[in-house]
Each structure stands twice: as C-alpha cells, then as structure tokens.
C-alpha cells in the first residue's frame, strides 16, 4: 500500500514497547483524553472535543448520568460473569459499539481500519461514518466483528444508492440514518479556527466533487458546516424513509431520537433500531440529555426495536446504567478517537478492553452475571 501522509498523531517514541508503556499507565477511559489532546493539532482537537452553541450539553448529560444510581443485589452467584450480548442478530463480546464519527485519519494514519480492527478484536460493534476516511471495503475487511454504515441524507440520492450497494457488497450489516442533523449546528470553536479538512484527509467513499467545500477555508466559518449546508437534504421527513428502505434489504437504524413520540414513529416506519443521542452535544444545544430521555423511550418501544444510546459514556458503570434503563447497547464516541490518537489500533483496543473489564466488574458487584439479568430494578433515578 502507498505510504500514507502523516496524520495529526505524533508517533509514540520508539516501537511498540513505548506504546505499551504509555497504555499501561492509562487506567480509565477518561485518562486517554489528555494524552490525545497533547498529540493532536489544536484545531483538530477542537473539532473532536467541541460541541454546539454554549457547549453546556455534554456537562448536562454527565450530570444526568451521575443522577442514575445502582441498586445492587447481593448473594447472587457471580462466579462467572459474561457481558456477551446480541444486537440485530449479531453476537458481540459486550453490548458496546463505536459511534459513527467522521474522518478517523485526523487522529491516526490508519484511520477507520485501525478502529474497526480494534472493535472487532474486543467484541464491539463498529459504525463507520458516511465521512469515513478509509474505504468501506477496507473497513469491512479489517473489522472482525459486525460493521454498520451511517448515512446523512445527501441531496444527491444517487450517491446514497451507490454507497448502500457498496456497503451491502462489502458485508456491512445495517444502515444508520442520522436524523438529528438536517444541518450541522454552529460549533464556535470550529468557526474561530476556520476549521477545514487537512489535505491528506478525505471522505474517500464519496465523489470528491461532493466534498469540495470541506477543503476550502473561509475565515470565521467552519468548512464542515458550509459543506453540510450545501450537500445535506434538509427537506426529508418520515414519508421519505420508505424510499430509503426500498433501496436496501439491510436493517435501518435511526440515530438521534430523543422523544417517545419519535421512537414510536420510528418503529411504525419499520426501523430495526434507534440510537438515543444528543450527537455528543454537537447538534441541538439545550436538548434533553439522551440519558434522561431513555426511560420514556424504552417504555414506548417495548422491545419492538433495538435501542442504542450514546453520549458521555465513559465507564463500565455508565454502560451498566444504560442497560438497566432498557438500552440494548451503548456507543462510545470521542473516547475511540482518543485511543486512536494515543496509540492507533492498540490504543482503541486497550481502551475497549478497559471498558469491558469495568463492565464485567460492575455486573459482578451489582449481582447481574449476564446482560439478560440487567433489569430496571437495578437503577433509581434521583430527582
């Protein structure tokens, strides 16, 4: 393969040994954040870390998570604890996945290939973004576990049709349509940095002509936002979902649902799953935290479709809490990119292994040896 230009990541000194030492010192997912920040150029870090508007939503989500408390059961046989799970017919080593995020090559030259490989190795789901910086075929070949493809609804529908055909042929197992982004919200850090994609990072699965605006710098404006305004179809409604479903036999998952009304509509529209999400606080500023919306949504859905959730999930205890509130799986966003920036595939793998260890421990201490033992009685949401 041709030599890839250097991405933002500064290689850890020396060979794998130095990397191993760095990783051995990082004992929680949160501890990956600072070394990741130190390794990435400031505008790339701002793009990753930033949120929309006042940037207060991620904190509100964290506070909501902290108000969910566990009610453990004691004297339960937890000699063997197994976090294995099933999601849309696929077996997972744990009910965890990597949320779709654009342009992993901003963090590591191997990009999505490294992330997908690490996810597969750790028994986690991988969701590739429509703006992936490695090809769908490379990603599917790298990932030993299930891979799904996320789509934004582009004005150019033929581009969607082509992507879907490629995803099916490559072995992707579901499509995730992101529905909370008819346009990309203003992110002030990106505006201030006039954030523009570096020359070596491209949305390689789309026609370059569709992506031009992401590479053109304009002072005071994010190129990502301008690009989305040009290319996203903001006119689509529930009635368009039939068209999308007719293009594919793959299950459809809707990402960005925050109310029980929309969750019911998603089920009625034939969605196989939904992702309860605030888009990492990057879309509607002031929205209800996904974790707060989760109980009403799982109650409305009543098992008729898979429910995934993301946003500020950073520990095994966080994962256990969302399972207890009725989710089938938890997605990790930014932490996967921290792992990638710190040590590429090995970094993501180590971070996911940590999460699995924490989840297994939390299940043991909560008296829930298998995922199917995790029930609503395990949590109380404090007022």
Ligand X SMILES: Cc1cc2nc3c(=O)[nH]c(=O)nc-3n(C[C@H](O)[C@H](O)[C@H](O)COP(=O)(O)O)c2cc1C
Residues serving a catalytic function are: 279
Site for ligand X contains 145 (CB under 6 A): no
Residue 272 near residue 177 (C-beta atoms within 8 A): no
Residue 306 near residue 339, CB atoms below 8 Å? no
Q: Count other C-beta atoms under 10 Å from residue 134's C-beta.
A: 23
Q: Under the criterion CB under 6 A, does residue 163 sit at the interface with ligand X?
A: no
Q: How many CA atoms lie within 13 A of 143 on its CB side?
A: 32
Decide if residue 279 touches ligand X (CB under 6 A): yes
Q: Which is nearer to ligand X, 88 or 340 (CB)?
A: 340
When the beta carbons of 232 and 326 are compared against ligand X, the nearer one is 232
**Is residue 134 a contact residue for ligand X (CB under 6 A)?**
no
- Which residue of 22, 115, 122, 150 would you call a contact of ligand X, by CB under 6 A? 150
- Which residue is it, tokens 């294995």? 84
Q: What angle do CA 334, 309, 227 make, to 5 degrees?
A: 55
- Tell which positions 63-102 bind ligand X, by CB under 6 A: 99-102
Nearer to ligand X, 47 or 148 (CB): 47
Rounded to a whole number of angstroms, the minimum distance from the CB of residue 273 to ligand X is: 14
For ligand X, the closer of residues 47 and 172 by Cβ is: 47
Smallest separation (angstroms) from ligand X to the CB of 239: 22
Q: Is the dihedral of CA 165, 123, 67, 30 positive or negative?
A: negative
Q: Least distance (Å) from ligand X to the CB of residue 278?
A: 7
The verdict on 204 binding ligand X (CB under 6 A) reads: no
Q: Does 352 bind ligand X (CB under 6 A)?
A: no
Nearer to ligand X, 81 or 228 (CB): 228
Q: Which of 108, 138, 190, 310 binds ligand X (CB under 6 A)?
A: 310
The H or E element that residue 331 is part of is strand 329-332
DSSP helix, strand, coil percent of the chain (3-state; round to 5) = 45, 15, 40
In the shown chain, the binding pattern of residues 31 to 70 toward ligand X, with x for contact by CB under 6 A and - for none, equals ----------------xx----------------------
Q: Which of 159, 293, 307, 332 binds ligand X (CB under 6 A)?
A: 332
Q: Would residue 279 be called left, alpha or beta, if left means φ above 0 and alpha means ψ between -120 and 50 degrees?
A: left
Q: At its nearest, how many Å lie between ligand X and the CB of residue 26?
A: 17
Q: Is 316 in the site for ligand X (CB under 6 A)?
A: no
Number of H helices, E strands in the chain: 15, 12
Candidates 34-42, 67-75, 158-166, 331-339; binding stretch for ligand X (CB under 6 A): 331-339
Shortest spacing between CB 61 and ligand X, in angstroms: 7
- Pick from 52, 129, 133, 214: which binds ligand X (CB under 6 A)? 129
Task: Tell me the C-alpha distance between 4 and 139, whole Å.
Answer: 16
Alpha helices in the chain (DSSP H): 16-25, 33-39, 42-49, 57-67, 112-121, 136-142, 157-170, 188-192, 208-211, 223-231, 241-246, 260-268, 290-301, 316-324, 334-366
Interface with ligand X, residue 108, by CB under 6 A = no
CB of 297 to ligand X, least distance (A): 15
Q: What is the residue whose two structure tokens read 């230009």?
A: 5
Binding of ligand X at residue 123 (CB under 6 A)?
A: no
DSSP per position, 284-329: STTPPPHHHHHHHHHHHHTTSSEEEEESS--SHHHHHHHHHTT-SE
Q: Identify the residue among 280, 344, 347, 369 touching ligand X (CB under 6 A).
A: 280
Structure tokens at 284: 């509607």
**Cβ-based neighbour number of residue 62 at 10 Å:** 17
Residue window 206-245: x/- pattern of binding to ligand X, with contact defined by CB under 6 A: ----------------------------------------
Residue ranges in contact with ligand X by CB under 6 A: 47-48, 99-102, 129, 131, 150, 178, 255, 277, 279-280, 282, 310-313, 332-334
């Amino acid at each position: 393969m041709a030599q890839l230009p250097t991405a933002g990541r500064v290689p850890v000194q020396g060979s794998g040994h130095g990397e191993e030492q760095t990783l051995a010192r990082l004992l929680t997912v949160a501890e990956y954040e600072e070394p990741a920040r130190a390794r990435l150029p400031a505008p790339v870090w701002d793009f990753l870390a930033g949120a929309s508007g006042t940037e207060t939503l991620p904190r509100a989500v964290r506070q909501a998570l902290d108000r969910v408390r566990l009610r453990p059961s004691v004297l339960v046989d937890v000699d063997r604890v197994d976090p294995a799970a099933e999601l849309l017919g696929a077996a997972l080593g744990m009910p965890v996945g990597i949320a779709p995020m654009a342009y992993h090559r901003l963090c590591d030259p191997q990009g999505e290939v490294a992330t997908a490989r690490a996810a597969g190795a750790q028994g986690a789901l991988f969701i590739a973004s429509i703006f992936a910086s490695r090809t769908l075929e490379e990603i599917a070949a790298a990932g030993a576990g299930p891979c799904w493809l996320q789509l934004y609804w582009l004005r150019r529908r033929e581009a969607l049709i082509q992507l879907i055909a490629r995803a099916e042929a490559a072995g992707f197992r579901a499509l995730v349509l992101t529905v909370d982004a008819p346009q990309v919200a203003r992110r002030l850090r990106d505006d201030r940095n006039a954030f523009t994609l570096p020359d070596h990072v491209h949305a390689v699965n789309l026609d370059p002509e569709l992506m031009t605006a992401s590479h053109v710098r304009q002072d005071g404006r994010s190129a990502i936002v301008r690009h989305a305004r040009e290319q996203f179809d903001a006119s689509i409604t529930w009635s368009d979902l039939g068209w999308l479903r007719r293009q594919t036999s793959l299950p459809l998952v809707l990402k960005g649902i925050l109310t029980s009304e929309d969750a019911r509509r998603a089920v009625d529209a034939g969605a196989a799953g939904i992702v309860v999400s605030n888009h990492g606080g990057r879309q509607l500023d002031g929205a209800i935290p996904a974790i707060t919306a989760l109980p009403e949504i799982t109650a409305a859905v009543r098992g008729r479709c898979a429910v995934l959730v993301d946003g500020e999930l950073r520990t095994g205890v966080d994962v256990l809490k969302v399972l207890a509130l009725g989710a089938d799986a938890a997605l990790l966003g930014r932490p996967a990119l921290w792992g990638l920036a710190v040590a590429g595939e090995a970094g993501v793998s180590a971070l996911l292994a940590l999460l699995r260890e924490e989840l297994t421990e939390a299940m043991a201490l909560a008296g829930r040896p298998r995922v199917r033992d995790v029930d609503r009685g395990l949590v109380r949401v404090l007022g």
